[in-house]
Amino acid sequence: MNTSSPSATYLGVPAASLDDPRSFSGADVVILGAPFDGGTSHRPGTRLGPHAIRTSDYLEYGGGRPSFLVSVDPFTELRVVDAGDVFMPPGDIEAALHRLEETVVAVAATEAVPVVLGGDHSIALPDVTGVARGVGFGRVAVLHFDAHADTADSQFGSAYGHSTSMRRLVESGAVRGDRLLQIGLRGYWPGSEVLAWMSAQGVRTFDMARVVRHGLDDCLDEAFAIASRDVDGVFLSVDVDVVDPGMAPGTGTPEPGGLTSRELLHAVRRCALELPVLGMDVVELSPPFDGPGEITAILANRIVLECLAGIAARRAGDPAGR
């Protein structure tokens, strides 16, 4: 954890305190920071992600954010608060993930939607588990945008890490294998054993070849249909590396051939407009590799905002946007 960051909140929304759950009672959305890179297998830096996601914008800090495309201001429609960073010791992944899970449980218990700013993708395990502990194991579908399946059996000899989180979620029963919906996969991983496990669990993948051939909207239609059956809602887990590294260089395990930023924002918007979002995380932003334009940080900021706008529009009775 980087305690030297000033305690800025996401775009200047009111602060809440993790130590005082009453401070976020009544909130519709609670932002949490998970400044952790103890679970990454390659370039570190995601511990600096939450601060960058919170502050990478050019509009007035603390002001409104009326969406041009969805015609709603999420900060008008929703009560959004930021409860700051969870304390996650970098050298103790089990303790770190445990603390995060307890925090997500506490937030979810208030009926607020937890939005977790990563951090590497190992945090999806506590993020989704925390939500599932509220609505019930097996009652939340996961919409997983990523270049990678994150279904390894172990990483560096440990059960925990950014490449194992989705496996652990299915194994524990927090998420049904056939309600794990992966969009954007590509590259040169995993091998046949892991693929066999995924297939046996009924994990549904929409890889980039499929996205190109069928169109992103068709893939989303199909995924959303599955994600609407026999669950109470969805958790949206967005790894910024689902976007092509040519447009999102600030990440640890970049794999060429991905979505454009525009496609991802479109997909996130549709998800939040069309499905009941119970929780969200945005992960794998690594600012040191982002370059002076800070484009990946800005993109990550907008992934969150686009989701909030969609939730706001949906609650305002406009499930299709304007």
Q: What gap in Å lies between CA 153 and CA 89, rounded to an integer?
A: 23
Q: Is 40 in the site for its own copies (CB under 8 A)?
A: yes
Near its own copies by CB under 8 A, which window of 134-142, 167-175, 254-262, 273-281?
254-262
298 binds its own copies (CB under 8 A): yes
SS3 label, residue 321: coil
Touching its own copies, residues 129-188 (CB under 8 A):
156-158, 160-161, 185-188
CB 278 within 8 A of CB 131: yes
Q: How many CA atoms lie within 13 A of 256 on its CB side?
A: 1
Stretch that binds its own copies, among 130-138, 190-198, 222-230, 310-318 (CB under 8 A): 190-198
Site for its own copies in 274-293 (CB under 8 A): 288-293
Q: Does position 317 bind its own copies by CB under 8 A?
A: no
* 54-73 binders of its own copies (CB under 8 A): 54-55, 57-62, 64-69, 73
> 22: burial class by Cβ within 10 Å (0-12, 13-18, 19+)?
exposed
Does position 320 interact with its own copies (CB under 8 A)? The reply is no
| Other beta carbons within 10 Å of 213 | 10
Which of 33, 45, 126, 233 touches its own copies (CB under 8 A)?
45
232-256 burial string, b = 16+ CB within 10 Å, else e?
Answer: ebbbbbbbbbbbbbebbbbbbbbbe
Q: Which two tokens stand for residue 45?
A: 């830096």
Binding residue for its own copies, selected from 12, 49, 130, 177, defined by CB under 8 A: 12
Contact 148, 187 (CB under 8 A): yes
Question: Residues near 27 by Cβ (< 8 Å), separated by ≥ 6?
Answer: 16, 79, 80, 81, 110, 112
- Pick the closer one to its own copies by CB: 109 or 322: 322
Applying CB under 8 A, does 265 fall inside the site for its own copies? Answer: yes
| Segment interacting with its own copies, rule: CB under 8 A, options 21-29, 44-52, 105-113, 137-145 | 44-52
Binding of its own copies at residue 270 (CB under 8 A)? no
- Report which DSSP code applies to 13: P
By beta-carbon proximity to its own copies, the closer residue of 38 and 134 is 38
- Of 42, 230, 319, 320, the one binding its own copies (CB under 8 A) is 42
Cis preceding-peptide flag for 126 (omega within 30 of 0): no
Least distance between its own copies and beta carbon 277 (Å): 19
User: For residue 278, what are the contacts with CB-CB under 8 A and spacing of at least 6?
Assistant: 108, 113, 131, 134, 135, 140, 232, 233, 234, 235
Residues 23, 25, 41, 110: which binds its own copies (CB under 8 A)? 41
Q: Could you give the string, one character per residue 195-234, with x where binding to its own copies holds by CB under 8 A and - elsewhere? A: ------------xxx--x----------------------
* Residue (224 or 289) nearer to its own copies, CB: 289
